[in-house]
Amino acid sequence: MSTTNPFEDVSDLDRKRTIGRVFVALCIASTMVGIVALVTLLADVIYESWGWLSLEFLTYPPSRFPESYLPGGRGAGIYPALVGSIFLIALTALFTVFLGVGAAIYLEEYAPDTRTTSLIEANIANLAGVPSIVYGLLGLAVFVRFARMGQSLLAGALTLTLLILPIVIVAAQEALRAVPDSQREAAYGVGATKWEVIRDVVLPAALPGIMTGTILSLSRAIGETAPILMVGAATSMFVAPDSLLGPFAAMPMQIFDWARLPQAEFQHVAAAGIVVLLTVLLAMNAVAIYIRYRFEADLP
Amino acid sequence: MSGTDLTRSATGVGGRTDSLVRYVFFACAALSVLTTVGIIVVLLEGSVEFFRTVSVFEFLTGTEWSPLIEPVSYGVLPLVWGTLVITVGSALIALPVGTATAIYLSEYANPGVRSVVKPILEVLAGIPTIVYGFFALSFITPQLQRVLPWEVGTFNAAAGAIVVGVMIIPMVSSLSEDAMHAVPDELREGAYGLGATRYEVSTDVVLPAAVSGILASYVLALSRAIGETMAVTLAAGMAPQFTTSPLEPIQTMTAYMVQIGISDVSVGSIGYQSLFAVGLTLFVMTFSMNVASIWIRSRYREEYR
């Protein structure tokens, strides 16, 4: 047996070092791809919208004439869609909070460890992977047609509710799971019933987590175009929606409508709409992060 | 919770409220099952109507999709082809870039960099897809037209594939990074002890150990690309055709559904019914991929304790 010095072949080590350096460089470059894409996207949107975003843009209905959107024009903008989106999200929030938290409470606090329960949980995981346009078809067939709601605000909100429900349920489950069992047991110890424990102990403690999860899901819903397009969001609304069963406009749908118009000016109008949409999204995310930051420190 | 249930409700003291509340919450959870059932029933019912007029064979093997313009033809393959072009194209971008990003974040980056970069990448996933569509139209396509020597259409598959690829990078990188992060340090230290370099540890130890999570993330990301709607509609156009050139317009299944959604096709017409047949095809594809992703994760998972 000959003894070879493993460190003798320095050139091999050098080669490995070079490979390692190239590899790290590739990995860093790949990481930069995502970051650069994000920066480019935001810069492009802001650049395209420059000069087209004004106060009038927020307070006037859309127009077929691109020059109306310019400062000094007759005034045109995103107002009905902005208000429509806010109504849509408020309604969706109302439905998802009740249904999502209710489902999460059942799964975390009540559900026996049976096949039915694991079926429900597997089903929720699968629902999260269904394309949003399929939810649009569901809303079209069930709410718009079968329940005769028509192409209404209510039908849109219910469709978005079903879309984000799986995400809200999972987020609420995590928040409920984070409440320590010792708190539940202490409440049982002083004679509380299960419902009293949930209402007075578990829910208040889990509320910040639930709210954060819900707001983040809602911020996904507000940007969704495909489901409300299938349900039939309007693109030529000149007033804010005024009834649950009336027609509605929404920001992503309005942006889609602008983006596919042939006149080059409407690209700028679409960009201005996107800036408004992203600002609302940013505000919602900021609130969610604030709630997490402000209240989560209080949990034991 | 386990053990003997000593709560008052178990002894009947809780009263009616307690059992009522339980049923209300159960109904909320059952709604999710009802949603799945609803999706399947709606898609099947509409498809059955559609297949009364068009044979399943014609639908699945026809190579011409022209549901609204005479002579009508209902072969879904051009739409499936369009979806495939976008999916493969976006995978070519997102899988290598996402995996390399995950390796960097998990194996090389210091915690400070990681805690900044990861949320930034996740912002990419939070941007509405309509914004990506706009980005493709207003930036990617003009750049392609400027750089490439060939003719590039206003609507082209390449721009669609690029933006969808960027969109799903965070899915791949985030889930893969979680999988790599879960590989215990003992494995890395063992390899270092044998004289392995960092590169060898990353590619020969961590990658194989995390392969189930990485593959699962790939399948999930592809499923997302298949179902992606607004970005491909805006970027890749509405021309159902077989073309191998990524610089020509195509139409995906989802883009066709949008086309019907924004046109005033009357309810009950064959065009309306075709929505559900295409929707069912899409649902079957994404559903089987999601199931495959779960299967891969459980089948190939390495358990570390």
Query: For tokens 């309604």, what's the residue?
Result: A91
Residues of B in contact with A110 (CB under 8 A): 22, 25-26
Nearest residue to B92 (alpha-carbon basis) of B246, B250, B251, B272 = B246
Instruction: Give the separation between CA B208 and CA B197, rounded to whole angstroms.
Output: 16
B24/B169 same-domain check? no
Look at residue B148 and tell me whether its pLDDT is greater than 70: yes
**Alpha-carbon distance B58 to nearest alpha carbon in chain A (angstroms):** 23
Contact check, Cβ <8 Å, A27/B104: yes
Say if residue A54's pLDDT is above 80. yes
Does the beta-carbon distance from A259 to B291 stay under 8 Å? Answer: no
Are both B213 and B250 inside the same structural domain?
Answer: yes
Establish if A60 belongs to a structural domain.
no
Specify whether B44 is located in the same domain as B77. Answer: no
Instruction: Give every CB contact of residue A296 below 8 A, 6+ residues apart in sequence.
Output: A208, A209
pLDDT digits (tens, 9 = 90+) for B54-112: 888 888 888 888 887 778 888 889 999 999 999 999 999 999 999 999 999 999 999 99
CA distance A13 to A9: 7
The CB-side HSE value for A185 (13 A sphere, CA atoms) comes to 7
What's the CATH code of the domain at B140?
1.10.3720.10
Q: How far apart are CA A253 and CA A230, in angstroms?
A: 10
**pLDDT (tens digit per residue) in B3-29:** 555 554 455 555 677 788 888 999 999
Residues B93 and B17 in one domain: no
Within a domain: residue B214? yes
ipTM, interface predicted TM-score of the complex:
0.89
Helix A265-296 with A10-49: angle, nearest 10 deg: 110
Least CA distance to A45: which residue of chain B?
B135
Judge: B127–A41 Cβ closer than 8 Å, yes or no: yes
The strand pairing partners of B73, in sequence order, are B66
SS (H, E, C) B248-279: CCCCCHHHHHHHHHHCCCCCCCHHHHHHHHHH
Q: Which of B22, B134, B286, B295 to mutate to test the interface with A (most CBs of A within 10 A)?
A: B134
Residues of chain A neighbouring B195 (CB-CB closer than 8 A): 6
Q: Supply the DSSP symbol for B195.
A: T
Together in a domain, B79 and B48: no
Same domain assignment for residues A33 and A85? no
In this structure, is residue A174 part of a structural domain? yes
Residues A130, B287: contact at Cβ < 8 Å?
yes
What chain B residue is nearest to A278 in terms of C-alpha separation? Answer: B127
User: What DSSP element (H or E) covers B74?
Assistant: strand B73-74
Residues of A in contact with B196 (CB under 8 A): none
- Do residue A169 and residue A285 come from a single domain? yes
Q: Which residues of B touch A184 (CB under 8 A)?
A: 1
A1-37, pLDDT tens digit by residue?
A: 455 665 556 677 788 888 899 999 999 999 999 999 9
In this structure, the number of other CB atoms found within 10 A of the CB of residue B168 comes to: 29
Do B167 and B223 fall within a single domain?
yes
Which of B229, B274, B291 best tests the A interface by mutation, with the highest count of A CBs <10 A? Answer: B229
Residue type, B172: V
In a domain, B304, yes or no: no
Count of structural domains within chain A = 2
Do residue B101 and residue A124 have CB atoms under 8 angstroms apart? no
Q: Are residues A246 and A170 in the same domain?
A: yes
Res B1 pLDDT > 50: no
A184-193, A207-216, B16-25, B195-204: which has the minimum mean pLDDT? B16-25
Which residues of chain A make contact with B99, given a CB cutoff of 8 A?
30
Same domain, A7 and A106: no
Q: Are residues B226 and B84 in the same domain?
A: yes
A103 and A204 housed in the same domain: yes
Give B281's contacts in chain A (Cβ within 8 Å). Answer: none
Q: Write out pLDDT tens, residues A196-219.
A: 899 999 999 999 889 989 999 999
- Count of domains forming chain B: 2
Q: Does the beta-carbon distance from A131 to B226 stay under 8 Å? A: yes
Q: What is the mean pLDDT of residues A62-91?
A: 86
Task: Tell me the residue range of the domain where A157 lies.
Answer: 79-296
Q: Domain residues for B171?
A: 73-299
Partners of B32 on chain A (C-beta within 8 Å) are 103, 120, 123-124, 127, 165-166, 169
| Residue from the list B18, B32, B275 with its beta carbon closest to the beta carbon of A137 | B275
Facing residue for A225 by CB, picked from B129, B203, B276? B129
Minimal C-alpha gap between B23 and chain A (Å)? 9
Residues A174 and A41 in one domain: no
* Residue A292 burial (C-beta neighbours within 10 Å; 0-12, 13-18, 19+): middle
Q: Mind giving me the DSSP string for chain A?
A: -----TTS-HHHHHHHHHHHHHHHHHHHHHHHHHHHHHHHHHHHHHHHHTTT--HHHHHS---S-GGGGSTTSS---SHHHHHHHHHHHHHHHHHHHHHHHHHHHIIIII--SSHHHHHHHHHHHHHTTS-HHHHHHHHIIIIIIIT---S-HHHHHHHHHHHHHHHHHHHHHHHHHTS-HHHHHHHHHTT--HHHHIIIIIHHHHHHHHHHHHHHHHHHHHH--HHHHHHT-BS---S---STTS--B-HHHHHHHHHTSSSTHHHHHHHHHHHHHHHHHHHHHHHHHHHHHHHHTT--
A74 falls within a domain: no
d(CA B301, CA B299): 6
- Do B159 and B294 belong to one domain? yes
pLDDT tens-digit profile of A140-160? 999 998 988 888 999 999 999
CB atoms A131 and B8 under 8 Å: no
| Prediction pTM value | 0.89
Terminal-residue alpha carbon distance, chain B: 24
Whether residue B44 is found in the same domain as residue B127: no
Residue of A nearest to B165 (CA): A34
Q: Between chains, do A44 and B25 touch, taking CB under 8 Å as contact? A: no
CB contact under 8 A, A223 and B130: yes
What is the DSSP code string of A200-253? IIIHHHHHHHHHHHHHHHHHHHHH--HHHHHHT-BS---S---STTS--B-HHH
Q: Decide if A276 is inside a domain.
A: yes
How many other CB atoms are found less than 10 A from the CB of residue A50?
Answer: 12
Lowest-confidence range among A38-52, A114-128, A284-298, B224-238?
Answer: A284-298
Cβ-Cβ contacts under 8 Å between A and B: the total is 269
Q: Are residues A29 and A144 in the same domain?
A: no
- Which residues of chain B lie closer than 8 angstroms to A147, CB-CB? none
Cβ contact A226–B258 (<8 Å): yes
B126 and B33 within one domain: no
Statement to judge: residues B250 and B288 lie in one domain: yes
